[in-house]
Structure 1
Amino acid sequence: MVKNNAVIATVLFALIVTVTSISYTFYQLYQTNRAKHIDSVFSKHSLISQIYHTYLIKQISPPMFEANLALYDLNEITKKEEYEKIIRDGKILKTDGTTDPRSEASTFSEFPLIPLDSHPIITSMIEHRGKMYFWVESSRHTVLLEDRSIQAYSAVNLLSAYGTIMTILIISFTLIIYRLTPLRRLRRQIARFGEGDMGVRFHIKGSDEIALIANELDTTQNKIRSLIESRTLFLRNIMHELKTPIAKGRIVSTMISDEKQKARFEGIFERLESLIGEFALIEEISSGNQYLEKKEYRLVDIIDGAVDLAMVDYESVICDIDTSIKLEVDYRLFVTAVKNLIDNAIKYSPDKKMEITVEGGEILFLNSGEPLKKPLSYYIEPFTKDHPTKDSFGLGLYIVDAILKEHGYVLAYERRDDRNCFIFVPVKPSKRNHK
């Protein structure tokens, strides 16, 4: 599936990588900006510590301490429940102590008088429900101050920038994928054209590269269609024109009184008719325009039809086949392939007999005789043969091979003892099978 959509898969991969990279970059920016904001706010703690230290050593009175807090927009949390809730649930953003101050279980109370220098003042910044607090501790006293002039860090601007960039990226990649969708349609059309559907059209409106390629394919297809139609018309006209004089010749040959000459002319005209028939079959197979009418047939029925078509005695064909074996084939074409092998096997067999059997899904045609002098690939080429005879035109095995390929078989050959063995070997189904 991925191989069939490699371009779109690549675009989607690029989108995922880009989105991931940008998201990670913005996350790092968020962390950095948040840390800078916290550091900037926490810089206020030195002033708070100084005020608090002055208050502890009794250099300023409580009213003056509260006035200083109000001056810097700081409000002391005096309610015990609120104090403990903020300390318990709040998030400590930064502290100038080495450990979490909450681990020492500080409570809302006055501590016994201890020399001030035995415990330094520890200031922690806490965030709770969007508000900022300074928690100041010493050995004598602890206080929680709300800083009303400072809000918790907000990433609205950063999120807006991130959302804008993501929107632009998604729209851009969506447009790219949309522009590439005609490629999938074009691929399907090319596949249909390769399967023999000459009615498919490639034309696409537009002036981009894909449209130009599709329109060039459409022009090429029209030229190919014209060539095929011209070729088909030419061959059909030739065959029609040839059949007329052959028919007249056969009629005239019946008027010859010399039986020897009469038989000779009838043989010539039969050979010409057979040759025209083979040419027509070759044209039908090689053009790729035939539509295989595949149905299930019993193999024994196919062989019976081939024997009738070959006009040989049933005693000449030894058939050892299970009558339940069925094949899904085009009856007319497959019978022709079997008939040609029966013809060859009997023609080149000294005893004029041959055998047909099945082994593991392979159909075997065996006959006694001399082994092939050349590889099988030589004999499946048109107009090739070892022993020219009046009944052979060198097209038999070529037609067999072409028909088998259309049905998902290949023709093979091997020598078994003193017999030749031609084999129909099934392979993967052909992509050019049609209803």
Structure 2
Amino acid sequence: MKRSSIFITITTIFALAFISIFMAFMWLIDYDKQNYARELNAKYSNVAQANLFYMSGLISESDFRANTKNFDMPEVTNQSLRDKILADSIVIEELSDEIGTIAILLYEKNHYLKIVHLDEVKILRDKEFQPYRYEIIKIIFAFVALTLFLAYVFVLYKLKPLRRLKRQIKKFADGDLENVKNVSSGNDEISEVSEAFYDAVLQIKMLNNSRHLFLRNIMHELKTPITKGRLVAEMMSQGKSKERFISIFNKLESLINELAAVEQITSKIAPQNKTICFIDDIIDEAKDIAMVENEQVFVKKSENYKLNVEFKNFCIAVKNMIDNGIKYSDDRRILIEISDESIKFLSKGEALKQDLIYYIQPFIKGENSQKSFGLGLYIVSNILASCELKLAYEYKNGYNIFIFENLKAIIKA
């Protein structure tokens, strides 16, 4: 899966959303703590002041009750509990002035207010204190985070058919139409796309089968008269006419084979049966198909490399390069230089009038139609593309040089 896939994008979006919510809740907790602390300090200050004034005799009991009536902070009278609070509590804050001392204590998740005046100690319990206040915020955050996670899982679940559809599209791109399946599993848009894709594959399979049947019939119908014509030519008396007829029929048979190779390569539907082949065997087979003399082809190589290719098609590619090299050379000879980087075909002659891309199109005719490249380079280019190779061209020192580049991709140890 690519780094820019929709699944990574969605995961990133949900991760950012989760982090943002987490940061927001952390800020909320911190803000609430500060706000609640200010509220408690104001309340404890008022209660402590009223109690100290009352204990000091500065205000009457009625004034004391009026000042503390809004605060639910009863005095702890149980001596045992008082002793435990004084012994085991945590002092949060302590303040002293001329009339007494006050301290905020924490004991068993409750707040107590300790007020000391002279020898008198009073302990008040804050019944309104909310020790669970921040736990509620945490529970809310957990609920929001869980909801976000479930939404993330649900979105991935709904998009899961995309991966299955992607695998089927890859099979289609690789030409494996027979194993393409219908992965539609519902009534949503992705399922509708999957259904439409599968229907299109079925149509293509039907058209492909019809085309194969048509081509097989055409080739069969063409090969039959060619074979009969060649047999008749073989029965003719020796002479130029016999040689000419045999050459014509051989050429027609070769053209049919090349057209079959073009159909197989360009359709990208037929499977390729790649095998490990020696380069010498490929060159020899190509020379036999091209029907050229050994004296016309010179091979220069450092070793007999093993290539992982579809033998028949690669031989046709090499044969076309040999055929074109000899046909358009001044001395009707061609040199093949083989290295671990490339295969070069060198022939003496005039440089091409157009760029290479012009000549690798099908049925291109040059200035002289008798010397056109026709289907030759078009077939070569498509065969090389199926092998992950590339056809290149350069002109040096009066030689046309055609190059099969990236040979390392198919060389096997």
TM-score if structure 1 supplies the norm length?
Answer: 0.79
Corresponding residue of 2:86? 83
Structure 1 residues 90 and 355 mapped into 2: Cα distance closer, same or farther (>3 Å)? farther
1:73 and 2:56 aligned: no
2:294 corresponds to 1:314: yes
Is 2:3 the counterpart of 1:3?
yes
Of 129, 141, 157, 1:178 maps to: 157
Q: Any idea what the Cα deviations from partners look like across 1:243-290, whole Å, max 9, x if unmatched?
A: 112222223334445834333333332222122111111111111123
Residue 196 (1) aligns with residue 175 (2): yes
Please name the residue that 2:349 is paired with.
Answer: 369
Asked whether 1:269 is paired with 2:249, we answer yes
Q: 2:413 matched to 1:414?
A: no
Check whether the contact 2:113–2:126 (CA below 8 A) recurs between aligned residues. Answer: no
Checking the alignment, whether the CA contact within 8 Å between 1:74 and 1:145 is kept in structure 2 is yes
8 Å Cα contact 1:125-1:135 kept in structure 2: yes
CA contact (8 A) 2:184 2:194 kept: yes
CA distance in 1, matches of 2:22, 2:242: 94
Is the CA contact (8 Å cut-off) linking 2:91 and 2:103 kept in structure 1?
no
Q: How much does 1:163 deviate?
A: 3.3
Aligned ranges for residues 218-367 of structure 1 at < 5 Å?
218-257=198-237, 259-358=239-338, 361-367=341-347
Does residue 54 of structure 1 match 2:46? no
Matched position secondary structure for 1:75: coil
**Once the two structures are superposed, what CA deviation does each residue of 1:351-393 show, in whole Å capped at 9, x if it has no partner?**
2222111356021111112221221112212222444449x77
The C-alpha deviation readout for 1:73-107, integer Å capped at 9, x for no partner, is: 22378988963653xx4444xx6x5xxx7xxxxxx
What secondary structure sits across from 2:127 in the alignment?
strand
State the partner residue of 1:20: 19
Identity across matched positions, percent: 33
Structure 2 CA distance for aligned equivalents of residues 332 and 205 of structure 1: 43
Tell me the residue number matched to 2:65: none
Alpha-carbon distance between aligned partners in 2 of 1:74 and 1:153, rounded to the nearest angstrom: 19
Matched to 1:133, the amino acid is: Y
Q: 1:358 to 1:264 in 2, by over 3 A?
A: closer
| Aligned partners of 1:73 and 1:148 also within 8 Å | yes
Which 5+ residue runs of structure 2 have no aligned equivalent?
A: 61-67
CA contact (8 A) 1:74 1:148 kept: no
* Superposition map of 1:107-146 within 5 A: 119=98, 121=100, 123-136=102-115, 143=121, 145-146=123-124
1:165 partner letter: V
- Cα offset, 1:4, TM superposition: 5.1
| SS of equivalent residue, structure 1 residue 293 | coil
The correspondence for 2:131, drawn from 135, 140, 153, is 153
Post-superposition offset of 1:72: 4.7
Q: Secondary structure at the match of 1:350?
A: coil
Cα distance in structure 1, aligned partners of 2:186 and 2:44: 65
For 2:300 and 2:310, the matched residues in 1 are separated by 23
* Residues in 2 aligned to 1:324 and 1:136: alpha-carbon distance in whole angstroms: 102
Which deviations, in whole Å up to 9, do the C-alpha atoms of 1:190-246 show, x marking residues without a partner? Answer: 111111010202341311100111111111111111111111111111111111122
Cα distance in 2 for residues equivalent to 1:120 and 1:427:
98
Matches within 5 A, 1:158-173: 158-173=137-152
CA–CA distance in structure 2, aligned partners of residues 33 and 268 of structure 1: 97
- Alignment of structure 1 residues 415-434 onto 2, 5 Å: 415-426=395-406
Q: Distance in 2 between matches of 1:148 and 1:3?
A: 57
**Bigger mean CA offset, 263-272 vs 32-41:** 32-41
Change (3 A) 1:233 1:136: same
RMSD, matched Cα: 3.5
Residues 112-168 of structure 1, C-alpha deviations (whole Å, 9 max, x = no match): xxxxxx746553423243121224467x56857251634442134434433333333
CA contact (8 A) 2:286 2:316 kept: yes
Q: 1:121 to 1:13 in 2, by over 3 A?
A: farther
In the TM superposition, what is the alpha-carbon distance from 1:327 to its structure 2 partner?
2.4
TM-superposed deviation, 1:185: 1.2
Aligned residue-pair number: 398
SS state at 1:123 partner: strand
Call closer, same or farther: CA 1:301–1:249 in 2, change over 3 Å: closer
Specify whether residues 255 and 318 from structure 1 end up closer, same or farther in structure 2 by C-alpha distance, changes over 3 A only.
closer
Q: TM-score, normalised by structure 2?
A: 0.83
Q: 2:120 and 2:284 mapped to 1: Cα distance?
A: 109
Q: Distance in 1 between matches of 2:122 and 2:405?
A: 91
In structure 2, give the amino acid aligned to 1:266: I
Corresponding position of 2:190: 210
